[in-house]
Amino acid sequence: MDTLVRLLQLLVLILTLPLHLMALLGFWEPLCKTYFPYLMAMLTVNCNRKMDSKKQELFSQIKGLAGASGKVALLELGCGTGANFQFYPCGCRITCLDPNPHFEKFLTKSMAKNRHLEYERFVVAFGEDMKQLASGSMDVVVSTLVLCSVQSPKRVLQEVRRVLRPGGMFFFWEHVAEPRGSWAFLWQQVLEPTWKHIGDGCCLTRETWKDLENAQFSELQMERQPPPIKWLPVGPHIMGKAVK
């Protein structure tokens, strides 16, 4: 099976050789950082339509998590275009964090459409190092389709626990690997080296549920969902919450 994966990976590499050459020469990443927000803006409309009821169910739980100020201090990791804003309840003060500064103009548009929220700031940083944010400063942290593309999910989850107050909640919705040994998993392995370039670092074969289980949250609730967009090589999704 490993030999077949390598052969098919080589075939895909040959078919997408210009992309890999651009990446090798350092031309692809700046281009990807520019176009990726536009790609996400198109895809998230379709995702939100398909996941509307599930997202409403998940994020409706935020309402009761207000801190001493009476507001919910909410940090969204890898905030992207702000596709989740419409699902957040009134009284949330939103801090957005993303390593790609090109998303900011999309966030501004999303905030203008969601006046029920208070926009705190946009932090350009990686989830593995959120030193701009104080420990215990957040009531809620949200991550949707983010842990697939970070360098270290373990470090990101450590930072999530650090910035959350005691009793604060981490809400997540992430795509994960298909079952090992399946043909679907084989194709994820085949496509992953090329997909990482197309998807701004997105990994298809991550078993993120294991990172969540090992992150030392006091409580973890998680359910598995089928992928909302069938023609993409991303696998099933996990959705749930964890309590610090």
Q: What is the mean pLDDT of residues 88-97?
A: 93
Q: Please report the pLDDT score of residue 69 as a whole number.
A: 77
How many helices (H) and strands (E) the chain has is answered by 7, 7
Phi, psi of 64 (to 5 degrees): -90, 15
Q: pLDDT tens digit string along 122-176?
A: 999 999 999 999 999 999 999 999 999 999 999 999 999 999 999 999 999 999 9
Nearest of 85, 29, 50 to residue 234 by alpha carbon: 50
CATH superfamily of 1-60+71-81+91-124+137-243: Vaccinia Virus protein VP39 (3.40.50.150)
Of 161, 164, 163, 173, whose CA–CA distance to 217 is shortest? 161
Res 104 pLDDT > 90: no
Per the DSSP assignment, residues forming a β-bridge with 170 are 141, 242
What is the per-residue pLDDT for 59?
92
> What percentage of the chain reaches a pLDDT higher than 90?
64
pLDDT the model gives residue 227: 81
Distance between CA atoms of residues 44 and 51, nearest Å: 10
pLDDT averaged over every residue in the chain = 90
- In whole angstroms, what is the distance from residue 124 CA to residue 52 CA? 28
Residue type, position 241, single letter = K
pLDDT at residue 74 in the model: 97
67 burial via Cβ count (<10 Å: 0-12, 13-18, 19+): middle
Q: Which parts of the chain fold into alpha helices (H)?
A: 2-15, 17-24, 28-59, 104-113, 153-163, 183-198, 208-213
Distance CA 42, CA 39 (A): 5
Give pLDDT tens digits for 194-243.
999 988 899 999 999 999 999 999 999 999 988 877 778 888 999 999 99
Query: What's residue 70's pLDDT?
Result: 82
pLDDT of residue 102: 85
pLDDT digits (tens, 9 = 90+) for 154-166: 999 999 999 999 9
Candidates 66, 88, 64; CA nearest to 76 is: 88
What percentage of the chain reaches a pLDDT higher than 70? 100
Predicted TM-score of the model (pTM): 0.91
